[in-house]
Amino acid sequence: MKRLYILGILFLGVLTIGFSQKSLNDYSYVVVPEQFEFLDAKDKYQLNSISNFLFNKHGFHSFLSDETPDAKRCDGLYANLERGKAFLKTKFTIVLKDCNGNEIYRSPEGVSKLKEFKKAYQDALRRAFKNIEALNVQQKEITLYNAPVNTDTIDKKVVNEELKKDPTATVTNEVLRVEVVEVNSIVPQAKFSNYTYNGKSYLLRKTAEGYTLYEENNTTEDGLLVIGKIERIKDFKILFIDASEKIFKAHFDDDQNLMIEKMDGVEVYKLER
């Protein structure tokens, strides 16, 4: 009986090692709940939206639960925030589980000594994320169910080139499908993309109208300041509208870097990979 008990312990140890060695890169996205269990309201103190932002910043494809992608459930990880017990301190631990509820990752505690609830909660959360940042995660691309081909992004120049070759030709759906892939490879398709400009960090969020550009800073409650929006117009050109509603020409280069044409030169926001 004693021998069986020891073998059982060894077997459980092997399973634990197996789970701990499973890479976060093996998953393609992470889901952040709209409300953490220890709080009484959705996104209270902006903890959920900040978590979503920081996951995206540090190599994950992160979504709030109401924006979960149409992908295999077990391709994703599911985040939770646990509050530790402490006197005059706030302690948070970030936990990631798979679709079966198995714990894949548990961060060291992020600890804050600030007294005000909101500041203490956000400070402890960011300190916990410092450990995730050190992991250098780069999640694989998301495989969506029945991903549609967006023919709205087809460059008319491509179609015109086909017609030049044969003015009587009909540009088939198959030709359009190939060119859509080529055009879409230039424009960011991820829900969130991280950029840098002049030593600062920026977040580009994909929207139905185009994109929203945020600067990461310490002056706003959620750590994000809206810099402007990018909208698509006719002929597949894009415009950048800044926070004061000034309009500038913009485009993405072949490496998906964002180029904004200002009066005093071109601002180049480099995509972080």
pLDDT band at 207 (very low <50, low <70, confident <90, very high): confident
The DSSP code sequence of 17-55 is: HHHHHS-GGGSSEEEE-SS-TTSSSTTGGGHHHHHHHHH
- pLDDT at residue 7, rounded to an integer: 44
How far is Cα 54 from Cα 125, in angstroms, rounded to an integer?
A: 10
- pLDDT at residue 88, rounded to an integer: 84
* Higher per-residue pLDDT: 184 or 139: 139
The mean pLDDT value for 228-236 works out to 70
pLDDT band at 218 (very low <50, low <70, confident <90, very high): confident
CB 238 within 8 A of CB 248: no
**C-beta neighbour count of 220 within 10 angstroms:** 13
Out of 14-18, 76-80, 94-98, pick the least confident. 14-18
Model confidence pLDDT, tens digit, residues 127-162: 999 999 999 999 988 888 755 544 444 444 444 454
Would you say the pTM of this structure is higher than 0.85?
no
- What proportion of the chain, given as a percentage, has pLDDT over 70? 75
Phi, psi of 72 (to 5 degrees): -60, 130
- pLDDT at residue 28, rounded to an integer: 93
Full set of structural domains in the chain with CATH: 22-133 (3.40.50), 151-184 (no CATH), 192-271 (2.40.128)
* Residues paired with residue 16 on neighbouring β-strands, in sequence order: none
Out of 22-36, 194-208, 222-236, pick the least confident. 222-236
How far is Cα 219 from Cα 245, in angstroms, rounded to an integer?
A: 21
pLDDT above 90 (res 36): yes
Q: Which residues contact 235 (CB under 8 A, 6 or more apart)?
A: 156
- Average pLDDT of the chain is 79
